[in-house]
Amino acid sequence: MIINGYTRTCGVMGNPVEHTMSPAIHNTLAEELGENLAYVPFRVPAGHVGEAVKGAFALNLLGVNVTVPYKSEVIPFLKEIDPLAETIGAVNTLVRAEGGFRGYNTDMPGLYRAMCEDGVAIEGEKMLILGAGGVARAVAILAAQKGAEEIILLNRTLEKAQKIAEEVNGLAGRQLATARETGAYASLPGDGYLAIQATNVGMFPKTEEAVIEDAAFYEKIHTGYDLIFNPAETRFMSLVKKSGGRAFNGLKMLLYQGIIAYELWTGAEVDSDLAEKAYAEMKKAIAKQSDVQ
Ligand code: NAP
């Protein structure tokens, strides 16, 4: 691409940011759509988020993604916040508004778009969520909003899962979610679950790990969605498949959170052919990264 006086800049702020796949998504979209836009990583040291947001606005950046560990910390520095991001309590996309940025959460709409594309429905499903971190909490809210019949959170630290279940029940206005310690998986009633794996376990380089090993657990699952995307097939996914279920990784979620952010910044509509091109570039970027490490 040619960088000149008209080039608009977007980027991702986080710490660290060196492993980000987002430049592969956004720079591919910009190139394919013929937009004069460059996307770069911004490493922001602890304690400087407010300055970074103010500086990004003053520098006329078109848009900014926010990643770990600043998705909640960034909120007080925004001019406006989208209702979904406010409910989830995490912002990953900043869009220019009058006098400051408006914060959005595109992670959950991204996961939803990925699931729709993979033919995985939430409505009427009995859902199991493994984990009770920031992403598990957002997934539980998404599940409630999209009509899951039941939500069970399984986590190593029971209190964290209980807190999310209470929040979700408050939002839903009924007893929709419950919490269990991961070790209590054997007491799960019945089978036919859609499971979302939202812990860090199994991520590269510790690819031989899964939160639960017991085949009896995987027999209860008809579809397993691991939010991890490196490796492409996690141990959780291979255990789901071994027990006859369908399994997906988190790369499409990452792709679509980026695509939705790009659409918010530029007004472009990204069709499935273009999404496929960006997806291929992400896969190449991950392969290169795994080779280096
Ligand atoms: P987080 O807030 O740090 O939560 C981590 C969760 O993993 C907690 O529930 C934690 O349990 C559990 N955990 C960590 N180590 C464990 C272990 N050794 N054994 C059992 N449980 C363990 O992380 P997060 O931000 O929610 O992210 C969760 C996952 O989502 C990560 O794998 C991340 O890569 C993925 N993610 C994917 C995308 C995407 O676009 N595909 C986007 C964001 C995140 P405790 O509560 O007991 O500590």
Instruction: Give pLDDT tens digits for 200-245.
Output: 999 999 999 999 999 999 999 999 999 999 999 999 999 999 999 9
Distance 57 CA to ligand 1 centre (A): 31
Q: pLDDT by residue (tens digit) across 98-121? A: 999 999 999 999 999 999 999 999
CA of 41 to the centre of ligand 1 (A): 22
Q: Atom 14 (ligand 1): residue with closest C-alpha?
A: 200
Tokens of 269: 């509509």
Specify whether the CB–CB gap between 152 and 144 falls below 8 A: no
Task: Tell me, in angstroms, the distance from the centre of ligand 1 to residue 117's CA.
Answer: 24
> Looking at residue 291, what is its pLDDT?
72
- 70 — phi, psi (to 5°)? -110, 10
**Site to substitute for ligand 1 among 105, 128, 135, 142, most atoms within 8 A of C-beta:** 135
Alpha helices for 4-127 (secondary structure H): 22-33, 49-58, 83-88, 107-117
Q: Is 198 in the pocket of ligand 1 (CB under 6 A)?
A: yes
The residue whose CA has the least distance to atom 1 of ligand 1 is 133
Structural tokens at position 98? 């009058």
Q: How far is the CA of 158 from the centre of ligand 1 (A)?
A: 14
Q: Is the CB of 248 under 6 A from ligand 1?
A: no
- 254 CA: nearest ligand 1 atom: 40
Query: What integer pLDDT is reported at residue 153 of this predicted model?
Result: 98
Q: Which of 157, 149, 145, 138 is nearest to 175 (CA)?
A: 149
Dist. CA 282–CA 252, nearest whole Å: 10
As given in the structure block, the two tokens for residue 66 are: 């926010």
Catalytic residues: 71
| Per-residue confidence in pLDDT tens, the chain, 293 aa | 799 999 999 999 999 999 999 999 999 999 999 999 999 999 999 999 999 999 999 999 999 999 999 999 999 999 999 999 999 999 999 999 999 999 999 999 999 999 999 999 999 999 999 999 999 999 999 999 999 999 999 999 999 999 999 999 999 999 999 999 999 999 999 999 999 999 999 999 999 999 999 999 999 999 999 999 999 999 999 999 999 999 999 999 999 999 999 999 999 999 999 999 999 999 999 988 877 65
